[in-house]
Amino acid sequence: MHVTCRIRTKFQLGIAFFVFLLTTSVLANPIIPIPTQPQQPTFTPSAPNMDATGYILIDGSTGKVLAEKNADTRMPPASLTKLMSLYIISAAIKSGQIHMDDKVRISTKAWKTEGSRMFVKVGDDVPVRDLLQGIIVDSGNDATVALAEYVAGTEEAFVSMMNQQAKLLGMNNSHFMDSTGLPNKEHYSTPHDLAILVQAYIKNFPEDYSFYSEKWFTYNGIRQPNRNRLLWRYQYADGLKTGHTNEAGYCLVASAKKDGMRLISVVMGAPSDLARTEDSIRLLTYGFRFFETHKLYNASTPLLQARVWQGMKPEISLGVPEDFYVTVPAGQYKRLQATLALNNPLKAPVMKGQTCGTINVTLGDQVIASKPLVALDNSPQGGFLRRAADSVRYNLHKYFSKPEEKLNTG
């Protein structure tokens, strides 16, 4: 069964699911109102043209790709690799495997690692918090190897964890050979994969994300600036990480938030430090100016009451399992439509979290977002008499009900 409704800014969004049982029907509950939005441009220009080898711009809430070039082409990521290392480290902190105040003994291997440094010394006992800042702000290879060894015992074991995590996140064109990003022909990633990684990091570890906006970090009397120039040049930027080798060129993964909308940009293979900064600003400015993101539904909020056959209760509340956002070109919000498809029939037992249908949001003829519609509570099977009566009612329902019902709210 399908229900179609137009999304209006001056009306509540309503979805109705009709089940006719001789003299009874089940109606949808009112949906959360969508606030009126200011008038925006109704056209979307082409994305900025840039000399970088590859780039991508996505919305941080929806993952919607707003601009891209060679986004799935494998490239050397240089120190952008550390974003995956930091994901593993933050996961270890969140799970309680390691703690911010733990002291990490610096090995000879960590101290000797080439490239950018935090300038730790062999045998020093350095808090996890300081090493974390040394990776994020200083891009310290020495700090990265030290924490990799602390989390996994060896850097090699840590790299195995990185590759396993990449698969879990759907980073299908990434493979890591070390924790730092030193050149290796078997070490690669893509703009799209790195955008997926950053989206997951911000969602899963918001408590650690504040480190990425720090402009300076001082350790052992040495004060170093964050290499991410966006923190000084772009007012909405609050992260994340730079990278550079001769093979990779100049790279920058950035994120910025404006008026509740978060964007993530990845620039790889830019010709200079200045170019990667300016390219990132162009992408972020383009995204904020010509696109908008809206929350349509709150997680676990009842959207409708659906008929449950042979259950102890005749109805069950359905909703979305997580906040439902959509990203659309500016000025196109009023053209959105929502279509609801329910599994029919819905028979007990129904368990909380069980998928009972789908909500599709379309712009014109294109589906731009979908979410499962899930049960918000349990509906156990009813007794013998309830099941027998519902079997009769259901057969009558199939005979008398129409194949499709629609409700327009505008």
Q: Has domain 54-270 been given CATH number 3.40.1160.10?
A: no
Q: Does 12 have pLDDT greater than 50?
A: no
| Residue 173 in this model has a pLDDT that exceeds 60 | yes
Which residues neighbour 371 within 8 Å (Cβ) at sequence distance 6 or greater? Answer: 297, 320, 321, 322, 324, 358, 359
Q: Is the pLDDT of residue 163 over 90?
A: yes
Bridge partners, 268 (sequence order): 54
Give CA–CA dist 358/381, Å, rounded. 23
Residues marked active site are found at: 79, 82, 139
For 113-153, write each residue's pLDDT tens digit.
999 999 999 999 999 999 999 999 999 999 999 999 999 99
Alpha-helical runs (H) found in 210-319: 230-233, 273-290
49-75 average pLDDT score: 97
**Which helix or strand (DSSP H or E) is residue 135 part of?**
helix 128-136
> What is the model's pLDDT at position 395?
54
CATH topology of domain 2-38+295-400: Peptidoglycan synthesis regulatory factor (PBP3), Domain 2 (2.60.410)
Q: What's the gap between Cα 33 and its chain centre?
A: 24
How many angstroms separate the CA atoms of 68 and 8, rounded?
31
Domain ranges of the chain: 2-38+295-400, 54-270
